Amino acid sequence: MTSPPATVNPAHRRADALHERKDYAAAVVAYREAAAVSPGDPAIWFGLGAASKSLSEFGDAIAAFRRALDLAPNSPGVRCGYAEALFSLGQISQAIAEFEIAAQGDDLEARDIALSNVALLAPGDPALNNADILRVRRRWLDTVHGGIEALTPIARPPGDRLRIGFLSAFFGSPNWMKFVWGVINRHDRRRYEVNLLSDGDDPSAESGYADHDDDRIWQINGVPNHELAGHIARAGIDVLVNLDGYSFPKRLPLFRYRAAPRQIAWMGMYGTTGLDAFDWVVGDAQAVPVSEEPHYAERIARVPGSYLAFEVTHAAPDVVPPPCLETGVLTFGCLGSAYKITDQMVAAWARILAGAPDARLLLRNRALDMASNQAAMRDRFTAAGLPLDRITLEGGAAHGAFLRTYGRIDIALDTYPYNGGTTTAEAIWQGVPVLSFNGDRWASRTSRSILAAAGMADWVMPDEAAFVGTAIALARDPGTPARLAALRSGLRTRVAESAACDTATLCRALEALYETDPWDS
């Protein structure tokens, strides 16, 4: 990808060398020295933005990339870097607008990056709708990954166990796979041979996997899609299941090879993939209403309960009473990723705190480790009218400490339009109710899916106005602390016994799907 032209001064040369060695912190210092000498050189600001982004200092990266664009507005590489930094701090609509501009240029690498990112980010952009999501995802696949021809099926002798291949880059990630292992661990190995195709670390007991002697683990990291498709076909995989969706988009084009007779998208899905190569995408009645089916490239399989039924195998802190019992004020909290904190979400929080003048808001995520990110967030909050003296910002932590944060939160506020998944499951497991509302797309109904299955549908409001109004009413109601205490004391048991944790039923539903022809029904 092309960066802006430059006349390199010595500090710039040193900065580039440090950047090349991945000594990003030192590179940032050198780039700033270079900028002091040559402030009109866009390449210096581009380098500063790229190094800052590598350090996850997205606030600094945004400022540097913006300066580079002022000097070289026709540089698609700068624009893509700028868009990526904007996204990382939740400015999704702005990021997509920048990617769209980059996609129009002659730089094919930048075009491919831009189209891929628009396809990835689309469900989280309030300005786009379901038809837009389908359109931009098909555009990326057809523009960048068109022309793939399906393989000729390889016949397998009848009578063997059905061979299921699960594809993921996150099998080795502790905690993140709590929606997956409850199903995979329960598959009937007398009927199914389980193959785990891993683009990341191998599955382990730490990540939640219960090892079976006959399971086959494939390490596929770095294997090109066309080669992997041949391996899958020759291995006689009958059903290939994608668990990542756009969380690892490089493997989506693999499914165009039709390496397995049946192909299913499950778990990492919160919208259409845009690929008609999938026979089914797995959802449920809460996440995907029938009225939205025309905006899906796949047939939708609705399972009982939640398609995100989960099982907690990791250590979790004990549930503690709601902090409002001691503080006398309600603390709302959001532990969602920074990229989910959209301007629309910030505006909703501002209305909640304005209507509940004693309430507080606690935010915690990994991006808030960085000073420039906190500063950028505070600037956005100030612009929206949020009272900074009632907001606590905290960075990431080890998982156990991160979960203990829920002991300082009375009610969790869901993000929109990209809801929580893992964060929603972990909040209710820690006894903290999640206030959400019914959105206009799958991504804004993942919490609805989990909460309804957990018997907490009354925490899902019909729209944003009701979400804001309910939060204010709860904060102002003197009876809320006692009701939260009663709810909290038994919530983990309720959740564990609910459909939200009924991975056995979800497992049976998926097993039935493996053997169902989607075009027979």
Domain boundary at 115, 145, 175, which?
145
CA distances from 475 to 109, 158, 336, 354, 428 (A): 50, 62, 21, 11, 19
173/75 same-domain check: no
Tens of pLDDT, residues 21-35 = 999 999 999 999 999
Quote the domain boundaries for residue 304. 162-309+503-514
Assigned domain for 156 exists = no
Contact 273, 241 (CB under 8 A): no
CATH number at residue 417: 3.40.50.2000
388/290 same-domain check: no
423 SS3 class = helix
pLDDT given for residue 7 in this prediction: 57
pLDDT given for residue 296 in this prediction: 97
214/245 same-domain check: yes
Of 309, 238, 228, 206, nearest to 516 by C-alpha is 238
Taking all residues of the chain, what is their mean pLDDT, rounded to a whole number? 95
Assigned domain for 349 exists = yes
347/287 same-domain check: no
Assigned domain for 263 exists = yes
Assigned domain for 315 exists = no
Name the strands in the sheet holding 331-334, side by side, starting at the edge strand that comes first in the sequence: 391-394, 360-364, 331-334, 411-413, 434-437, 460-461
Tens of pLDDT, residues 185-196 = 999 999 999 999
CATH number at residue 78: 1.25.40.10
186/103 same-domain check: no
Tens of pLDDT, residues 201-256 = 999 999 999 999 999 999 999 999 999 999 999 999 999 999 999 999 999 999 99
pLDDT > 60? residue 5:
no
292/328 same-domain check: no
131/217 same-domain check: no
SS (H, E, C) 113-175: HHHHHHHHHHHHCCCCCHHHHHHHHHHHHHHHHCCCCCCCCCCCCCCCCEEEEEEECCCCCCC
Give the sign of the dihedral formed by CA 155, CA 160, CA 162, CA 167.
Answer: negative
For residue 519, what pLDDT band results from cuts at 50, 70 and 90?
Answer: low
Q: What radius of gyration do the chain's Cα atoms show?
A: 24
344/210 same-domain check: no
99/68 same-domain check: yes
Assigned domain for 155 exists = no
In the chain, the amino acid numbered 245 is G
In the numeric block, the tokens 């195998």 are attached to 313
CATH number at residue 185: 3.40.50.11380
Tens of pLDDT, residues 378-432 = 999 999 999 999 999 999 999 999 999 999 999 999 999 999 999 999 999 999 9
- The CA-CA-CA angle for residues 407, 409, 410, to 5°, reads 110
Assigned domain for 400 exists = yes
The whole-angstrom separation of Cα 97 and Cα 261 is 39
pLDDT given for residue 520 in this prediction: 62
Query: What is the total count of domains within the chain?
Result: 3
The whole-angstrom separation of Cα 363 and Cα 338 is 9
492/369 same-domain check: yes
119/185 same-domain check: no
287/380 same-domain check: no
Assigned domain for 151 exists = no
Assigned domain for 443 exists = yes
pLDDT > 80? residue 159:
no
